[in-house]
A and B are shown apart, each in its own frame.
Chain A
Amino acid sequence: MSIADPITTEVVRNFVISCAEDMNASLWRSAHSAIIYEGKDSAVALMDEHGNMLGQSTGVPLFIGAIDVCVRHVKDYYGDDIHEGDIFIMNDSYMQGTHLHDVTAIGPIFHKGELVGFGAARAHWNDIGAMDPGSTMSSTNIYQEGLRLGPTRIVSRGKRIREWYDHLKLNTRLEGATIGDLGAQIAAIRTGERRLGQLLGKIGAETYRAACQNIFEQARKMDREAIAAIRDGTWSREGFLDNDGVGTEPVKVKLTLTVKGEELIVDLAGTSGPVAGSVNCGASQTESLLRLAYKTMISPDRAITGGSFETMKVILPDECMFNAREPAACEWYFTGLGLLADLFISCLSEAMPERSTAAHYGDSMVVGFFSVDPKRGQWISIEPTAGGWGGRADSDGESALINLVNGGFRNIPAEVMETKFPVRLEEFSIRPDSAGPGKHRGGCGVVRRYKMLEDCYGAIWFERSKTPAWGLNGGGEGKGPEVTLSFPDGKVEDPLKMRARQLPAGTVVETRTGGGGGNGDPMQRSFAEVARDVSRGLVSRQAALSAYGVAIADDGSVDQAASVAR
């Protein structure tokens, strides 16, 4: 066994991080679909020849964990029948987690005829042949959600396998974009292959392997030290999803977290079994979410290099919505994950009081409008909506920020929406009094009010009204989400989930997203901070008095005599 000195090890560690960034840059640069190159709904990874993660770059934080598992599936399926120039793809929800839209491409990397690693690139394909175009909201089994692929060789020794390419083309409504995006994923893998080849040309495969072992060991050591430093104990929390997307019953999610020495154990016993709607999630992606939640608390600033997360053990019951098996539907797999993350972070907040963070508003809160007209052709305006985040041990939660499992999604400006689509944005503002009160309050949700200027269709997927963002350490809960539909004939409805439905011109859709939970006793929040929140319109004068015991006079000053003493 060769050894690598600390200098070479550090050069290799920096290399794998940078190599992953180059792979992602290459993917974004050549992808055909805006959801990849603008929405950054993709992830890439460089792994060793066993599938151990070395470097990773992701546009969606949720993709942090479940790529290495794809390499293991490829190796299990193909064994030694893996050759230089091969490319494999897969999207099976039960193998890799996520929904069928997320297709992972995997390529072995050889150096002088020897397997030295794998590159992988996952990207969201807009259409994979499901029952509805785009994201179906009504699937109840996976066969309705599109083409399902286990590990599948589509390029053999550098040569495309024609029948597989044709098969893909025949199973999507967007043939050109799909094949183009696949090409971009392959380009990303080739970038990794080329960059690793350059490094190996300099230092050789033996030294590289030795450096990788050092990197794994360093990451393990850092994780063990981090977990050992926090308080031992067992904590449990539960919450409910509003429904599974097709039914009306709340869906229970329960998480128990144990810290014991250098180990952290997560057990989902008590969580609902598989559900009829599509909020089931494959085990790999469940684990991926838990890695994300772990990272936000333990190591938010650290690059993801090998060995990370080995200190976390996940126990999934056999019958569990987060351990989806055939034929459970998985299209909206991420909806339950936002709640799961909040439960995890709240439990770990007990072990790490200095990083304690209350729950956030919780889901992507998707609103879409679409139609076909002679001028624009087919048009679609679809966006997730921001909300409030949880108060922290030492500061307030942020207002109007996109949810945890997303990252880089931005709101559509009123000026862009109104110029391009027959939809007017009548209001976009902070939702007052939506934040959970606390010594450190939660962040506020937002109000977005849309008016349809022509007949069109609308669809809505909102969540977390049954378990809005809760507070910690005496902090109060944030308000849950609300939606109001006002039709031109005067009828008013308030659906949180709505499948594609016709909206006549003049219909007004107002969405109000939830706030974050508070942290600490609101009666300990200073007069000055409450007065500032009132002057900024985040907290009303009534709420200042009822939630914080602070009386604000007409001129904005604090009436100390009428307030609860601090």
Chain B
Amino acid sequence: MKTSYRVSADIGGTFTDIVYQDVATGRCGATKVLSTPDNPALAVLKGIDQVLSDNGELAFFVHGTTVGLNALLTRKGSKVALVTNENFRDIYTIQGNDRGEIFSIRWNKPEPLVPLEHTYTVGGRIAADGGELEPLRLSDLDRLVAACATEAYEAIAISLLFSFTNPAHELAVRDYLAARLPDLQIVMSHKVSPEWREFERTSTTVTDAYLAPVVRRYISTLQSEMGDRLPEGGALHVMESNGGVMTAAAASETPLQTLLSGPVGGAIGGKALSAATGRGNLICVDMGGTSFDASLVIDGLPSTSNEAMLEGLPIQMSVVDIHVIGAGGGSIAWKEAGALRVGPQSAGSKPGPVCYGLGGTEPVVSDANLVLGRLDGANFSGGEMKLDRDGAASALAALGADFGMNAEEMAQGVIDIVNAKMADAIRTITIQRGIDPREFSLVAFGGAGPAQAAALAEELEISEVIIPVHPGAFSAWGMLQTDVRHDFKETLYSFWDMIEASTIETAFEGLEVKGRAFLSDEGITGDRVSFERAIDFRYYGQEYVLTIPLAAGPIDMDRIRADFDAAYERQYGHNSPENRVEMANIRLAALGRLERPENAAPERETPRPAREREVWFAGHPRTTSIIDRNSIGEGDSVRGPAIIEEVTSTTLLPPGWTARLIEGGHMSLSREDAA
């Protein structure tokens, strides 16, 4: 009999992480393979072959991809022509006209994805109420049609004023162009983002047009490479920026949604961990060798936004908030005016830390960790790379000489500085939301997270650290924990006291029809379908909105208003129930439940022979025992100092800390004095 597996792949720049779950037992395993950037499918297939033995079959496959993001970052998307209204040609290049660096007179706006010379205008104008002010002058478009003979455009983005109220002009422009340019992809702003603010909507539309061909090419390649490995029906799922998943077909329709597909897995893993362990408030930190991201789970839900900024350009879409904290392990230690600094410059992965031996000469945080014995130089990334401790030590000693410090003292100093800095950055994110980090548990994952987590928690005065199952592949694990999700929205502006509940109900029902159609195309129907409604509100006179979720059932105007006042109080510490309120947008999430087994804790294994290593704590080397994570039983407690090893990561348990297993096989570290 064949064994069925649900499999996820987190395709990163260096490694592709694979997590697989036995459908019958709910048990998960993880592995890492080197990524194959030229054809990401190769690494995925290699990983799948490793974990599925001959009698294994794929029941479900989901992956997170950075293909779209990389195309954006390296400016390797398609060549796009933009169509705007007459007299508004420059909307996309003027942008918000604010200055990104307020103390710089040399700051330049982010380079737009479509330069001005590829922007074409068309006469005609829709008014705020949707009425036609001036008829469309389609003959203006002949200039674009003619230009296509020489310009090699791959896609056209159409973004006209008030198309979210009345799309007639955008549709007419599309029809005119499609009839004359049948081979070009055409993207309309009212489809991509039916939301007001012309610059932001135009930027969103252009980005979609810019990425669409790239993402579609990638998905079709992956689909054909995976061929018969895919489950029956061939469904390949892709992680979305909003934390849900979608089928490959849906991803080809809405390529933008794959943009932040990679890093959200960790936040969704945090949500599942919150549900499994009963801890509502989590700070999730993902620390790789050279990167450090943080996300928040509050009352069991990941914190989200309705707009993302990428390369300084706005994109109107629902995203899980991922905060890039800094370079983490790659931060360079350096000298300035007789003072010691760490970061913000990073050595990245090339040349990388001194200890990689790839030409790096400036010591970084990872070098300090190695010198203090916190990284295993002989067994780094599964033995793929040997680390040069002597090289790291001499670079640190050279820097320390000016301050009268030896290599180990310098290493400890570098780590103290970077931990304090990271803790400061995390604290600022929480204070912005009116949260005290001390009431949160710190969830640490990524290759380097579990080694730094306890020290970071001490800085933040957090008393519990959770090292989840498969910490080195936790984002991939998170991808197995989510459902299908599609977000829909519509700008419906009104004073709250001047709109009828029935108007709002009708608008939501319109979005639900769209949602059902999307899910049905993905084979999800009946009671597997559900909806979540929300409305963007603000007090009259304000600009920013708060998105307020609606309870199920008929629309209760008074209750929604009260919920807004309460949410405002939570966010800002005060509210104004006596003030008028405006609504700006309605939002609908269409959810499709996926069948999945309960997660089971990993199976306990027999410990390997006792091992130990010298690790520096508080300025002194201590002999520290090495423990296999999978040999820790329920009810066991491990006292620090200890090193806890597993396939994808290494946890450092400092003196004074204790580790024990909790629900789902996750591991909790706590300080004895805090208990």
Contacts and interface: CB of A to CB of B under 8 A. Distances in A.
A248 interface: no
Contacts of B102: 58-61, 407-408
A225 B337 CA distance: 9
Nearest to B542: A34
B90 A191 contact: no
A30 B128 contact: no
Contact of A38 (B115, B162, B416, B542): B542
B572 A409 contact: no
A29 B573 CA distance: 8
A416 B197 contact: yes
A99 interface: no
Contact of B117 (A221, A430, A535): A535
Given A34-B542, A413-B197, A22 B431 contact: yes
Interface string B312-353: 000000000000000000000000111111100000000000
B128 A418 contact: yes
B99 A401 contact: yes
A388 B193 CA distance: 31
A9 B417 CA distance: 10
B541 interface: yes
A39 B96 CA distance: 13
A60 B98 CA distance: 12
Interface string B491-527: 0010000100000000000000000000000000000
B195 to A, nearest CB: 9
A7 B428 CA distance: 22
Contacts of A402: 97-99
Interface residues of B, number: 69
Nearest to B582: A420
Contacts of B412: 7
Contacts of B434: 29
A560 interface: no
A127 to B, nearest CB: 13
A21 interface: yes
B196 A410 contact: no
Nearest to A60: B102
A18 B106 contact: no
Nearest to B97: A386
Contact of A7 (B95, B106, B417, B461): B417
A564 interface: no
Given A410-B96, A414-B161, A415-B128, A222 B336 contact: yes
A29 B572 contact: yes
A75 B272 CA distance: 54
Contacts of A14: 417, 420-421, 424
Contacts of B55: none
A389 B413 CA distance: 43
Most buried by B among A26, A198, A399, A428: A428
A18 B94 CA distance: 32
Contacts of A219: 337
Interface string A390-417: 1010010011111010111111011110
A300 B104 contact: yes
A494 B161 CA distance: 29
A415 B584 CA distance: 12
B196 A416 contact: yes
B197 A357 contact: no
A207 interface: no
A429 B574 contact: no
Interface in B52-82: none
B417 A429 contact: no
Contact of B196 (A390, A419, A535): A419
Given A10-B342, A34-B543, A221-B338, A408 B99 contact: yes
A406 B96 CA distance: 13
B88 A15 contact: no
Given A7-B416, A428-B94, A389 B105 contact: yes
A420 B197 CA distance: 12
A295 interface: yes
B428 A427 contact: no
B73 to A, nearest CB: 22
A14 B459 CA distance: 13
B101 interface: yes
B393 to A, nearest CB: 18
A398 B111 CA distance: 12
A296 B105 contact: yes
Contacts of A221: 337-338
A187 B493 CA distance: 34
Contacts of A416: 196-197
Contacts of B93: 399-400, 430
B127 interface: yes
B161 A300 contact: no
Nearest to A387: B97
Nearest to B104: A300
B88 A427 contact: yes
Contacts of A233: none
A430 B121 CA distance: 14
A537 B199 contact: no
A11 B417 contact: yes
Given A6-B340, A22-B428, A536-B115, A429 B90 contact: yes
Interface in A1-60: 5-7, 9-11, 13-15, 18, 21-22, 25-26, 28-32, 34, 37-38, 58-60
B543 to A, nearest CB: 5
Nearest to A400: B94
A21 B421 CA distance: 13
A377 interface: yes
Contact of B109 (A25, A300, A401, A446): A401
B40 to A, nearest CB: 36
Given A7-B340, A415-B197, A428-B87, A446 B94 contact: yes
A292 interface: yes
B97 to A, nearest CB: 4
Given A14-B424, A409-B98, A415-B128, A398 B88 contact: no
B196 A428 contact: no
A223 B148 CA distance: 55
Contacts of B199: 413
A300 B541 CA distance: 34
A343 to B, nearest CB: 14
Contacts of B115: 536
B167 to A, nearest CB: 14
Interface string A370-395: 00000101000000001001101001
A392 B106 contact: yes
Nearest to A40: B102
A424 B131 CA distance: 14
B95 to A, nearest CB: 8
B594 interface: no
Nearest to A385: B97
29 contacts: A5-B403, A10-B417, A22-B431, A29-B431, A29-B572, A29-B573, A30-B573, A34-B543, A60-B102, A176-B576, A214-B339, A300-B101, A392-B106, A395-B108, A398-B107, A400-B95, A400-B97, A401-B98, A401-B99, A408-B99, A409-B97, A415-B161, A415-B162, A418-B127, A420-B493, A428-B91, A429-B88, A429-B89, A446-B97
Interface of B: 87-91, 93-99, 101-109, 115-117, 127-128, 161-162, 196-200, 336-342, 403, 412-413, 416-417, 420-421, 424-425, 427-428, 431-434, 461, 493, 498, 540-544, 571-574, 576, 580
Given A7-B413, A400-B90, A430-B94, 9 more contacts: A29-B573, A60-B102, A64-B103, A301-B103, A401-B97, A408-B102, A409-B97, A446-B94, A532-B117
Those 3 A-B pairs whose CB atoms lie nearest each other, nearest first: A407-B102, A18-B424, A386-B97
Interface of A: 5-7, 9-11, 13-15, 18, 21-22, 25-26, 28-32, 34, 37-38, 58-61, 64, 176, 180, 183, 187, 191, 198, 214, 218-219, 221-222, 225, 292, 295-297, 300-301, 345, 355, 357, 360, 375, 377, 386, 389-390, 392, 395, 398-402, 404, 406-411, 413-416, 418-420, 424, 426-430, 446, 449, 532, 535-538
